[in-house]
Structure 1
Amino acid sequence: MDCRTGFVVFLSLIGFTFAVPVKFIDCGSSSGKVDLVDIAPCPSQPCQLHRGDSYSVNVTFSSNVETDTSKAVVHGIIAGVPVPFPIPNDDGCKSGIQCPIQKQQSYSYMNSLPVKTEYPTIKLTVKWELRDKDNNDLFCIKFPVQIVS
C-alpha cells in the first residue's frame, strides 16, 4: 500500500470514530429492514452539516428480496415539501453493496452526502431511499439535520 492510500484509509477510520448512530425514522422499508444508520462526522444530533463539506452515510440493512439493481433517491424535506438532494452516485451496487442483493442477507450501504456552499442555513429532514429493481424500498429512512455555515 502506498503512502497516499494509507493516509486516505487512516482519515476514513478517524472519520468513523466521530460517527454516532443516528436516530432515524423508517418511512416505508417495504423490501428490507434497517438496522443502523451512521453519518460521519456527526458528533451530536441533529447532525450539523457544514456548507462545502461532504459527509459519509452508512446504512446497515437486511433485504427481504432478491434484486440485481438498486438505486438511491435522496430528498431534503423543507416545510413538508420534498426537494431533490443530488448525491455523487445513485447506484447502490457501486456504493458498498455487492450485487445481486440476496434475500435474508445483511448489507452495508455507503455513500457520501455533499453539502453545497449555496445551500441555505436551515433545519430540515433528509429522506434517503434505496430502491430495488421493482422500485420498492429496500430501505427508506428519515433523519433530521441542520445545514450550517
Structure 2
Amino acid sequence: MKFLFSLVGKGEIKWVDVNPCDSDPCVFYRGQKVNITAYGQPRLLLSFIFVNKMWLIPFLGKLYKADQSYEKSIYDSNTAKISVTVNVGGIPIEYPGIDPNGCHYVKCPIKKGVGYTVSTLIPVYAYLPSITTTMKWDITGDNDVTLACAETKVTLNKKRTDINPL
C-alpha cells in the first residue's frame, strides 16, 4: 500500500503518523478520535510515500527513513496558528473542534535550526457527512508566514460496524 501525503506550502514535514489509518485514503469513522502526529521544519516542498507502515522521504535521489533528519528550520516565530480544513464542494471549510493556537500543539517560540513535532487529536463528530475530501493542515507563524502546510485525501464515514467494541 502506498499513501501519498503532499506538501503544498513552504514548510517541510519529514514524517506523519495517522492513527488509526490502514487505507488510502484514510477512513475516519464517526465517533472516533484520530491522532495525527507530524515532525517537520519550515523549509522545502516534499512528498512522502507510506510503504509497509513506514514513511519514506525522497531526497536527492535517495529514500530516507522518516526518522532521519537532514534539514533545519530557516524561520523564527514567536507564535503558531494551526488551521485544519476540508474541501466541501470546492470550498475549504474549517474542520470543527481544532484549537487554532498552534502553541498548544508545538512548543513556542519556533526557532531556526530546530525540528518540531506537532500532534493533533481530530474528533470525528457524528453530525459530519460521509464524504471523501481533501484535508489540509496549515501552520502559520508571525505575520501569517506559512511555517508548514500539507494536505491529503481522507474519507469521513459512518461508524464502523465490522469490529467488536472493547
Q: CA deviation at 1:88?
A: 3.5
| Distance in 2 separating the partners of 1:87 and 1:146 | 18
**Residue 123 to residue 28, structure 1, CA distance change in 2 (3 Å):** same
CA-based RMSD: 1.8
How many residues are matched? 127
Amino acid corresponding to residue 37 of structure 1 in structure 2: V
| Distance in 2 separating the partners of 1:68 and 1:54 | 29
Q: Provide structure 1 residue ranges, at least 5 long, that are not aligned to the other structure.
A: 1-19
Amino acid corresponding to residue 44 of structure 1 in structure 2: S
Q: Which residue of 2 aligns with 1:46?
A: 25
Q: CA deviation at 1:78?
A: 2.2
Per-residue deviation, residues 33-65 of structure 1 (Å, max 9, x unmatched):
111122111122211000121111111111321
With normalisation by structure 1, the TM-score equals 0.78
Higher helix share: 1
**Residue 138 to residue 21, structure 1, CA distance change in 2 (3 Å):** farther
Aligned-residue sequence identity (percent) comes to 28
| Distance in 2 separating the partners of 1:145 and 1:113 | 12
Per-residue deviation, residues 98-147 of structure 1 (Å, max 9, x unmatched):
21111121110111111110111110000110111111211110110001
Q: 2:84 aligns with which of 74, 78, 86?
A: 74
Q: CA deviation at 1:21?
A: 9.2
Q: Residue 61 in 1 paired to residue 40 in 2?
A: yes
- Within 5 Å, give how 1:1-149 maps onto structure 2: 23-29=4-10, 32-62=11-41, 63-95=73-105, 97-149=106-158
With normalisation by structure 2, the TM-score equals 0.71
- Match of 1:93, SS state, is helix
**8 A contact 2:84–2:98 mirrored in 1:** no
- Match of 1:104, SS state, is coil
| Distance in 1 separating the partners of 2:140 and 2:2 | 22
